[in-house]
Structure formats: C-alpha cells, structure tokens
Amino acid sequence: MHKPVSDDVTSLHDLSAVDLIAGYRARQFSPSEVMDDVLAHVAAWEPAIKALYLLDPDAARTAAKASTERWANDEPAGVLDGVPATVKDNIATKGQPMPLGAASVTRTPLAADAPPVARLREAGAIIFAKTTMPDYGMLSSGLSSYHPLTRNPWDLRMNPGGSSAGAGAAAAAGYGPLHVGTDIGGSIRLPASWCGLVGLKPSFGRVPIDPPYVGRVAGPMTRIVDDAALMMSVLSKPDRRDGTSLPPSDLHWKVAEKPTRKLRIGLMLDLGGVGQALEAPVRATTLAAAKAFEDAGAVVSEVRGFLTREMLDGLDNFWRARLWDDLARLAPEVRAKTLPYILQWAERGAALSGVEVVRGFNVTMTLRASAAKLFCDYDYIISPVSPGVKFPAEFASPVNDPQAPFEHITYTVPWNMSENPAISVNAGFDDDGFPIGLQIIGRRFDDVGVLGMAKTFESLRGEQRPWPKAPTA
C-alpha cells in the first residue's frame, strides 16, 4: 500500500482507490466498512467545510452492501467496485436536480446520468454525494447563492477555490479517494492547488461530457497521481452523446514515472505583466520544482507566457455575453436570485456589440495557435497554477472585483482554449502550512505523459505533509 503521510495507522477513509481495491481483493476490509468510515468522517468535517450537496448515506450503505457481496463472491462489477466517489453539482445524475450552484436555476430531477457519472457507476464506484460549486461555475470560489459557503480544510478561514470548490474541499478532508470536477478556465487545477491535490484537466474531448462547450472538460481530483490515472481509465471511455469527444483509444492508464533525462521543459513564470503579480512563495516553490527536474536530467529553460491583456479581456467579454444570454431569459425576480457578484459581472455582457463578442471568442483560436507553436520546442511546460497562495473564504475571487474577475486564471486558462492536458500537483507549502501547486502541461492528447510527469514529480518532491485533521467538537 501507499505509505501513510504520518506515523499513525492510515484510516480507511484516507486510503487511495488503488489501495482500497487491493484491500478488497485481499479481504482486508469490505466496501461496507470503508463506506461507514467515510460517512463518519464526513459527519465530523461537513459542519465546518460544507463541501457536499445531496449526501445520501442510506443509498451509499445499500450500494456498499451490494459491492461487499460481489467482492465476497469474487465478482467485482468493475475496476472501481466499492470505491467511494463524489461528482460536482454540474454533472448530471439521474433523478436528481442540478442547480449549478445558483438559486436562480430550477431544480428539476434529470432524466439521465451524464457520461462521467455513467462510467463511474459502470465501474462500480459508489457515488454517495455531489459537491458544491459557485453560481454557474463562473467563480474560482466556494461562494454560492444556493449552496452554503464552502471552506478550505487546510485553513477554515480560507477559500478552497473553484469552481470545483466542494470537490477540492472534500478530497482534502478525506471524503474518500475519488472526486470529479469540471474545468473551463482552471476550475479543477485551482482548487487542486489550494487544497494540496492532484487535479487533471484532460485534453479536450478525452473525457466525454454533456453538455460540451468550448474548453470545458471533466477530470479527476485526487490525493495521488495513481488514483487520477485509475479514474481516467474509466472516465475516458466513449459516450456518443458528446459530439466533441475523441475517438476510443487504447491508452495504458497505469502510469509509471516518466524518465526526465534530456526532456525539454519550459519554465513559464513571466506573463508579461498580465494578471495578478506572482507572489514570492509561489515563485520560490515553482523554481524549486524546476530545479528538481533539472537535477533529474531535464533541460529546463525559461519561456515567456503568450497570454496578453487583450486576450484575457476578450475571454472576459465572451463569457459575460454567454452567461448574460442565459440570465436574460429568466424572469427579473428569478434572475435577481443570482449571486450579486455574478449578476453584476454578467450584466455588462448586454452592452457588448456582436463584434466585441466574436472578437473575444476568436481569442480561443489565437491561444491554440500560440500553444502549438510553443510545443514545437518543448516536451512539457511547468508553471504556477495560481499566482497567489490563498484568499479569504468569503471572497468571490482572489481579487474580489467583478470588473477584474480573471486576474488569477492567467496560468490556467490558456490550456483550456488550446485543448492541452494540464495537471496540478502539490509542490510545497507557505510558511503557514498552506499548499501551493505546480502545473505541468503537455502536448495535446499526451494525457498519459502529463500523468507520468506528475508521478515523477511526486517522487522528486518526496512525502507530503499530513492531511488536515477533522475539527473536534
């Protein structure tokens, strides 16, 4: 089993998915025992962090009992049979509402599971809850007009990030090993960084999703790379409902550490002044990671980022107009239920001209071309995930200004638009013990290679600090 991060005996809720499956196979413990332990741990943490939506303990125990019987008969349903998992609010689950974190959304039970949920269920995973998110996924924050405020387990005064806020908080708190988030500008990687996790934004189309949208992906949020790879072996299976998904592939998802000798790695720290200034602890942590790769034989060179102020503002305009189109269809009294920060941000979309909106959308093509050119010279790029270390739980974003909403996504959003795989992996901590992530980006479709690079970095980094402990009454 994976080495515990402390001298204490590792609790069942803290075990990786890889170790749970091994334990089930060896009859060391059962899915029912694991689910009971996870639910007890949730009960201890949830009043403090409020990461979950639609928690259903009875259904979870029933599913765990069925899984326990299958394992007793040596007939597991799939590679994740009996492993606890959560999925984000905005990933449809059959028979349940999907409020998108917003009080302005009608809560109607849905007719079918979205592809990520369908694949997890087919593999035997126990989806025992959904996780919180901000309104319409348009914040990197745990703030929502519908869900309670979600807090970061590492420091309850701080934000877990978003929009996969509950997923990040749940994974850091030990709500089982597997959590699915979505990412259109950093919404997996940012909370993964601020919560000390592994968070993979796959290549666009690698994981079928419904509904698809420009740059939008679903991906794993876990504590270790091996669990993220195991999830990808399931999530990446085909689903014809997503017309943007990649063809079925025979990728080998059981990743090994990637040899780094003579690998060409670009170190991206300088963004030319666009976005938040890079804070000293983030810079130092990223430089230390670069040196670790260099000491392992890689050729590391500094590269300048290609995102410009004009590009970031263009994306801002495009996304404002996109959300305003949805909000404008609502009755005024319903629209008013939206989080004020989001409503104030989106309302400016009404004043944009068609040319301005199209110009904003065209930024996606420019970013894609720039990324392709960069990867002519490099095998991988490493960078910070976020320019800042942390921000208050009550803030809607690190800057907390609806007229400057995306200053913190400057290292993450280019890779959504370019469709490259990118992963956040914990690289260190600030002086207060708050986690800082490293981003590793690969060429389009090199998801396995990015996971391998992250696994290599896990080894170079060494043992992580112990995970946060649940608050005591």
Catalytic sites, residue numbers: 88, 163, 187
Tokens of 225: 């790379």
- Helix 309-327 / helix 340-347 crossing angle, nearest 10 deg: 110
Single-letter code of the amino acid located at 91: I
C-alpha count within 13 angstroms, C-beta hemisphere, residue 413: 28
- Quote the tokens at residue 383: 């960078």
Nearest to 451 by CA among 459, 442, 460: 442
Residue 72: other Cβ atoms inside 10 A: 11
CA 170 to chain centre: 12
Q: How far apart, in whole angstroms, are the C-alpha atoms of residue 5 and residue 461?
A: 13
- How far is Cα 28 from Cα 40, in angstroms, rounded to an integer? 20
- Helix, strand, coil: what percent of the chain each, to 5? 35, 15, 50
Pairing of strands 178-183, 217-222: antiparallel
Structure tokens at 357: 């909106």
Collapsed DSSP state (helix, strand, coil) of residue 99: coil
Q: Measured between alpha carbons, how far is residue 324 from residues 86, 185, 329, 342 in Å?
A: 30, 18, 9, 10
Q: What is the DSSP letter of 73?
A: T
- Distance separating alpha carbons of residues 66 and 137, to the nearest angstrom: 34
